[in-house]
Chain A
């Protein structure tokens, strides 16, 4: 059974960055998001961080923390679980 948070994050990435030619389910959990893999750049990261902060009520304080959180979808899910309140997480 798929992790609802992973699924939510993948859809959020596709929607936020308008990745029209990518299906959310096709993004591997461990694939790098920035540079290699999805090849997102720092402007993409900025858009994603703004959306994540709004959606999950989290606060990412510096660019190094953002980069670590956005390593891949699995890492991002772990970060969200560690920092978001439970009521913000998908059931």
Chain B
């Protein structure tokens, strides 16, 4: 599924919240090498191993009713440009890999009906819709950790089909004991800090809170999503094909359309070994010389929302003139293109942003600017 380079969409507004703050604050902290991840009990108030987590400052992983993350989505939504969102010509695309699964787990344990409005994707989005005053034209999308990419791509299709004047993509993922416990059971969330793309003996990821929005429109100029592609290799729940064919299938079309341009790359880079190596090697092959960064060694993996959150941070980086390096990564890395330190980005004319997901899903888009 793709959007071709002759149909760019304009990025009219964007914003995010991470454990380090809004997009600009997050970028500044990443440039300073700050790490939001800290070792916290994997099951929140119920304890367990201490693993790298980055909840929003002051937010407990305890499942409250209503969820304590609503304060974050309210604050983020306050920055969305005014508009008749959720009406016929102004659709909203809400994406997440979690929605309210933590509340579902809390309800299963406590049987407290106060959790029920937040337990399913559609009921959770309905809560948001009412709080934020949106109309009913809302699409609810989820595909693990490329969820936000799917929202961006479908919003782009709707715009280019002439079905909308502007589109709002809104994504949120907040960690809960259900989610952290699942990754911990897989042993990839373990008592080590993530070091994306580092060639070391054991892999590990961190998990973080995050939410973001983007307003997309048609027309030239400014920051544009100039080429988008999504590919699912349908190989396995938790593993990619060992030959990297899924990464290749997703990235090859973008490499062709980016030929001759000077890009830097915001990769997925969670800190797992096999996927990290495949990703770094494929990116180095298709985009030789393009510096590669991952920010999940600081922010943690913000799951289905990472694609939109990291787009907001990338834009802040372009505006600041410097791109944060891969915080937490240490040499030797899988490939020479991994940038562990910040670098000036004035000489670049675009950014490739990629995400990958369980189920063998791969997503990438080009962010172009004048």
- Contact residues of A with B, CB < 8 Å? 41-43, 46, 49-50, 60-66
Contact = CB atoms under 8 A, between A and B. Distances in A.
A36 to B, nearest CB: 12
B82 interface: no
6 contacts: A43-B237, A43-B238, A46-B185, A61-B187, A62-B192, A63-B272
Contacts of A43: 237-238
Contacts of B202: 62-65
Contact of B273 (A41, A50, A60, A64): A64
Interface residues of B, number: 17
Contacts of A64: 201-203, 273
B370 to A, nearest CB: 44
A65 B186 CA distance: 11
Nearest to B237: A43
Given A62-B203, A64-B203, A65-B202, A42 B186 contact: yes
Given A62-B190, A62-B203, A63-B186, A42 B273 contact: no
A31 B184 CA distance: 28
A62 B185 contact: no
B331 interface: no
Contacts of B204: 62
A62 B236 contact: no
A50 B203 CA distance: 19
A63 to B, nearest CB: 4
Contacts of A49: 185, 187
B181 to A, nearest CB: 11
A50 B181 CA distance: 12
A82 B198 CA distance: 29
B187 A65 contact: yes
A64 B273 CA distance: 9
A44 to B, nearest CB: 11
A46 B186 CA distance: 6
B191 to A, nearest CB: 7
